[in-house]
Structure 1
Amino acid sequence: MAGKTWSTQTQLGTMFSLTARQVGAQLTELGLKDGAAATDRAVADGLAKDAKLRDGTVFYVWHTDRVAQLLRARGLEAAAAGAGHRAEHARPATGAGPARARAQAADPAPRPTHGYGTVVATDGSALGNPGPTGWAWVDQTTGETGSGGLPHGTNNIGELLALLEALRHAGPGVDLLVRADSQYVINIATKWAKGWKRRGWLKGDGKVPENLELVQAIDAELEARTGRTDFEWVRGHAGDEHNERADALAVAAARAAAPARAAAPARARER
């Protein structure tokens, strides 16, 4: 794919031995994709642009080199020549071996947790993305948990709600470490919200940020804190006990929030 400026998700997947769906999940966590569409930020930053099929159907293509660089920064490795896609629902291997060793080497070293009054893991989930949405937090210090859901939302909304509720749980005075597998949420909390706020809650392109009410609520909670607030990115679905528990709670909350399907009317018997 050398020299190719723009790639589809399928073509990006070929570079990393991932399916198009798995690439989409990575792009969502990076804040570059929301549902089936690229985010305004991704388009404004030149990371994505729309294209059309012959029948007029719009889809998005991605800047090959820049997006591949972002994926590599998440610990993904380029596929060997001729490598095929992984299974659609593949999870990192749990046993020892070369593939697992490479994944562990690519992850950031865990941040020490002994210097914090509260350490909390957060996660969000949207079935179908968009679809029924759940959020959850797990207090690693006390073992407490919190979760909830709404009938319709996105994965990013679930992640933002998880952080917001975790901040409310922790309170303003304690030194807090938030462990999240969403770089979108971490970037909002540590960088993007500050810039948007300075510009009157507008992005660099003059557009209103997505999920603004949740972003503003998180910003207010962070501004009110007197204790230290740090964030740690955790690789999702990689065996971290607290991340896996938060994920399970968020998925369960999303399922519980799903609107009940109306029962199909019984067919009248033929007479």
Structure 2
Amino acid sequence: MAGTWSTQTELGAAHALTARQVGTHLAALGLKEGTRASESAVAQGLARDARLRDGTVFFVWHTERVTALLAGQGVTPAVPTAPTTSAPSSTPSAAASRRHDKVVATDGSALGNPGPTGWAWVDQTTGETGSGGLAHGTNNIGELLALREALHHAGPEGDLLVRADSQYVINIATRWAVGWRRRGWRKGDGKVPENLEIVQDILAALEARAGRTDFEWVRGHAGDEHNERADALANAAARAAHG
């Protein structure tokens, strides 16, 4: 089924909840039984199994459909979603173009998640692109690398709009990283944040910017030209890293 897939941890990050809290909501919806997705969830295409490299089986959830079901229970994403239209625009809105000197779309991809990983950015202002990959990583690592490299490309001057389909990454850039640093690079549960070195690089790049940096959430795989192009470049980079 078309769409993106998220682990329970990623769903939690998108909604500013722990994985356990998300699990409680999924169970209340009849989508989870114990540690496993319910047969009904699998039959409806809301969940499917995935495997780690060592063969361990875990479940991933259809991001868009499960997010909609959670919203029906009053559980909404931590980052407001952008309004959708029947024909998504292939260019930034006129208001965004007036407000920002540069607009960049970012995306990341991991084959198998975890697996060979790619990242990419597309400069909607100039048409330039950048991409790269690594032999092993996760979707979140790819998304974070895409943002870090997009910030390096944009440089410190001018007002910048970053358009990303990862609420996890937008939350890190706009909210969580500063709080983690305030607590000595610890999350609320006392654990060290995942992918800390990349997160620190992103925060340093953001704070070095003289211009304003804004973020816009874009629904993935919904026909946005620049998001689709970044996704294709990231997937190509992941395949190349796979060898």
Q: TM-score, normalised by structure 2?
A: 0.71
The question of whether the paired residues in 2 share the 8 Å contact of 1:52 and 1:59 is answered with no
SS of residue in 2 equivalent to 1:119: strand
Within 5 A, what are the aligned runs for 1:45-194?
A: 46-48=21-23, 51-52=34-35, 68-69=70-71, 73=76, 104=85, 112-194=96-178
Distance 1:73 1:173, change over 3 A: same
How many Å apart are 1:65 and its aligned residue? 10
Within 5 A, what are the aligned runs for 1:170-249?
A: 170-249=154-233
Map Cα deviations across residues 94-135 of structure 1 (whole Å, 9 max, x no partner).
xxxxxxxx9627x9x956222211100000000111111000
SS of residue in 2 equivalent to 1:48: helix
**Whole-angstrom distance in 2 between the partners of 1:159 and 1:112:** 22
SS of residue in 2 equivalent to 1:114: helix
Distance 1:209 1:41, change over 3 A: farther
User: Where in structure 2 are there 5+ consecutive unaligned residues?
Assistant: 25-32, 37-55, 78-82
**Whole-angstrom distance in 2 between the partners of 1:157 and 1:219:** 15
Residue type of the partner of 1:185? V
Higher relative contact order (CA 8 A, sep 6+): 2
The question of whether the paired residues in 2 share the 8 Å contact of 1:120 and 1:140 is answered with yes
**Whole-angstrom distance in 2 between the partners of 1:29 and 1:113:** 36
Distance 1:67 1:160, change over 3 A: farther
What is the aligned partner in structure 2 of residue 42 from structure 1? 18
Distance 1:210 1:67, change over 3 A: farther
Residue type of the partner of 2:10? G
**Whole-angstrom distance in 2 between the partners of 1:59 and 1:28:** 9
Asked if residue 257 in structure 1 is aligned to residue 241 in structure 2, the reply is: yes
How many Å apart are 1:58 and its aligned residue? 8.2
How many Å apart are 1:160 and its aligned residue? 0.2
What is the aligned partner in structure 2 of residue 93 from structure 1? none
Residue type of the partner of 1:174? G
**Whole-angstrom distance in 1 between the partners of 2:132 and 2:18:** 29
Residue type of the partner of 1:165? E
Distance 1:60 1:148, change over 3 A: closer
Distance 1:67 1:146, change over 3 A: same
The question of whether the paired residues in 1 share the 8 Å contact of 2:108 and 2:145 is answered with yes
The question of whether the paired residues in 2 share the 8 Å contact of 1:147 and 1:250 is answered with yes
Q: TM-score, normalised by structure 1?
A: 0.64
Identity score, percent: 66
Residue type of the partner of 2:148? L
**Whole-angstrom distance in 2 between the partners of 1:154 and 1:116:** 31
**Whole-angstrom distance in 2 between the partners of 1:219 and 1:67:** 33
**Whole-angstrom distance in 2 between the partners of 1:163 and 1:121:** 9
How many Å apart are 1:140 and its aligned residue? 0.5
Residue type of the partner of 2:221? H
What is the aligned partner in structure 2 of residue 32 from structure 1? 11
The question of whether the paired residues in 2 share the 8 Å contact of 1:30 and 1:183 is answered with no
Residue type of the partner of 1:189? A
SS of residue in 2 equivalent to 1:121: strand
Residue type of the partner of 2:70? A
The question of whether the paired residues in 1 share the 8 Å contact of 2:105 and 2:230 is answered with yes
How many Å apart are 1:236 and its aligned residue? 0.7
SS of residue in 2 equivalent to 1:173: coil
* Residue correspondences, number: 201
**Whole-angstrom distance in 2 between the partners of 1:59 and 1:47:** 15
